[in-house]
Structure 1
């Protein structure tokens, strides 16, 4: 594994530090997403995480939020609906529009995934002295705020991991 001091010829130390941080954060998100119930795949977990944040929406809106085509959402939703994690319905204004929403069972699965992630973040932060912890969280807030001002950086991305 590359350390922070191994920036390499094309990376300065600041960029290398953010690259290393990315690996840590993605690792935590990846591990959390794999805490889903048995039989729920990573793409299905991602769908549940995104849908939980959106609430009841047309499947086309969910597809757009995920950055996938509608047929991908249909396939993922089929299995989730079969296992009770997601419910389909119809739009009240236009009955031809299929809506999707997370069920109570699905919300419990999402809560478990997010709690696993939050537990990992707490464990990481607990290993830091209070002043470093405060500085790290302040820096995280500043990075998120700065990213929101850079059009080339998709802060929303295709939904959470």
Structure 2
């Protein structure tokens, strides 16, 4: 059990450190919204709120900041004028790609230090763990969007 706690702490540390790639302007809540929009594509703000497990007013305030910073665009739904949609802008997409690329490189660097057989076994174990966790946490739970 201790190994899972340590690995979780380390993976969260990598995720948080990856935000440094974006500079001081990107907080964890902002990046979570950008990740949600990266996964959802153009989506109603209520759907984004559900994915983040927050209320709609929180999404509106966060979206206001991200629109102002140029990372998100607002739109409307062609079927209902009262529905506000959110979508990553090109700058938002580039920022998400840059942060995720840093994470990929950092994980690759760390994994390269493992013996190849251990790396393979670790990968298989983590894949099975992810499947088990997804079965327990994705059904019926809104959000949270991963870090």
TM-score, length basis structure 2: 0.92
- Tell me the residue number matched to 2:73: 87
Query: What's the offset of the Cα at 1:153?
Result: 8.8
Which of 117, 121, 125 in structure 1 is aligned with 2:107?
Answer: 121
Contact 2:71 2:88 in 1 (8 A): yes
Which of 130, 133, 137 in structure 1 is aligned with 2:123?
Answer: 137
The structure whose residues are more often helix, as a share, is: 2
Residue aligned with 1:101, SS: strand
Show structure 2 runs of 5+ residues with no match. Answer: none
Residue aligned with 1:150, SS: helix
- Tell me the residue number matched to 1:68: 54
Show structure 1 runs of 5+ residues with no match. Answer: 1-14
How big is the alpha-carbon RMSD for the aligned residues of Structure 1 and Structure 2? 2.0
More relative contact order, 1 or 2 (CA 8 Å, 6+ apart): 2
- Tell me the residue number matched to 2:98: 112
Query: What's the offset of the Cα at 1:142?
Result: 1.1
Rate the CA distance shift 1:47–1:34 in 2: closer, same or farther, 3 A: farther
TM-score, length basis structure 1: 0.84
Aligned pairs, number? 147
Deviations 1:84-117 (A, max 9, x none): 1100000010011000000110000000110111
- Aligned-partner Cα distance in 1 for 2:46–2:127: 32
- Aligned-partner Cα distance in 1 for 2:35–2:104: 14
